[in-house]
Structure 1
Amino acid sequence: MARDVTTVLNDLIETCKDGEYGFRQAAQDAHDPELKTLFSRRAADCAAGAAQLQEQVASLGDEPEESGTAAGVLHRGWIGLKTAVAGRTDLAILEECERGEDVAKSRYQAALQEDLPPQLLALVQLQYEGVIRNHDQVRELRDRMRAHA
């Protein structure tokens, strides 16, 4: 059972790392100072989430993931390509961040369907709620920016 649990947790660590890198890139590329601050905070939140999960994997006696996924690397590359082509607009950055959070939501939803011990299930649920808040905040900002475009 520990291998299955650590596999689930390591998948979520990769998801958190993808979010951290994606939000860090978004913070660098954003023009609006408020968005830069928001994206920097979200990157820090994702890093903290990954660290929490890494601690849990280590406590189970397994080796925690240290980096994101190959898809995340492509996603981050796509952020750069899309924002370059789109003139690096804040709207384009928000759209890509929302897409990244859609992926995170689906990965957390899948993890919540796994047979995790109660304390780990509670941690994953708490982090999932944070992903939902991030997603909804990014979507709201994107919608507001679209309305003013």
Structure 2
Amino acid sequence: MGTVADFVERLRPEFAAYVARLAPDDPDDAALAGRFLAQLREHDRVLLGDDPAAVAASVREALAQHEGYLWDAATLLRPWDFDLADVACPVTLHYGALDTNHPPRNGTWLAERLPGSTLTVDDGVGHLGALLAHWDDLLGGLAQDRVEND
């Protein structure tokens, strides 16, 4: 199986190629925004607006640090070394019905294995839409947890 660090290294070349295709160092905001938006489905693309400079700035910021993404992806894609049934804290899962990056069936699978979890699947939204639809709830829940645990 290997470690998460091993998995990160396996993912690194493919992610580096993805970043190279997007070319975030390109000073042409419209070109960078166009390359990024072209890979999204329409229901996610419209959520990012039509300001090429803002989209390009977001892409540059998102790709400035690769390690976080690589570690998240490696953790998600390799077998976990714990049983989901042992998770004792509340877990809230949000998915967009149109999400092809992380389809709702993934959430269903997790919800069936996480005791006391809550799954919400939002019709008519994709990957970004599910996040944006629940942004305030997600951040509020994290802030509340921090207050309760400090």
Could you say which structure has the greater relative contact order, defined with CA pairs below 8 angstroms and 6 or more residues apart? Answer: 1
The structure where strand makes up a greater share of residues is 2
Q: Which has the higher helix share?
A: 1
**Structure 2 length-normalised TM:** 0.29
